[in-house]
Amino acid sequence: MNYIDIKIKKLNEKAKMPTYGTEFSAGADIYACLNEDVLINPGETKFISTGLSAEFPEGYAMLIFARSGLSIKQGLAPANKVGVVDSDYRGEIVVALHNHGTEPRVVSDGDRVAQMIITPYFKANFEEVSTLSDTVRGAGGFGSTGKR
C-alpha cells in the first residue's frame, strides 16, 4: 500500500477529518461542516462547506468525486462531476453539490458529501504539429470501437 502525507487544517473546530471506509478504499470520505441544514431542490446546486483546507506535495492533485450511495440513492453529486484541487491551493475545500433527482434533499452537518482521492499527475509539453501518426482506429469517436 502506498501512503503520502497530507496536511489538513481545520478552519472550523467542528470540521471532521476525512476518513476511509475500509482498509482498501481508494477514496476518503469528506464531511459537511454546516451551521444549519442546506436544502437542495431538484436541478439546484449548493456549495457545501467542509471546514477543511489541505497541503500536499507538488505533482499531486486532490480529486473530489461523488459518493456512490449519495448519488444513486439521493441524486446528489458534485456539479462539476470531478473537482480538482491543485497543490498550491490553500483555501477551503468546498463541494458544489447538485441535486440530479426529482425530490428536494437536505444536507446536514456531519453528512458525508463526497470522497477525495490523492493522485499523481503529469504536466504535458504541448507541441503543435501538422500531422499525427496513423492508427487502426483513426478518427473513430463516440461508440466507434467494437463495431464490425
What pLDDT, on the 0 to 100 scale, is given for residue 44? 98
Domains of the chain: 7-120 (2.70.40.10)
pTM value is: 0.88
Q: Which three cell numbers stand for residue 114?
A: 463526497
Q: Do 105 and 74 form a contact (C-beta atoms < 8 A)?
A: yes
Q: What pLDDT digit, counting tens, does each position of 56-113 carry?
A: 999 999 999 999 989 999 999 999 999 999 999 999 999 999 999 999 999 999 999 9
What pLDDT, on the 0 to 100 scale, is given for residue 138? 79
What pLDDT, on the 0 to 100 scale, is given for residue 148? 55
Burial of 98 (0-12, 13-18, 19+ CB in 10 A): buried
Q: Do 50 and 30 form a contact (C-beta atoms < 8 A)?
A: yes
pLDDT score of 11 more than 90: yes
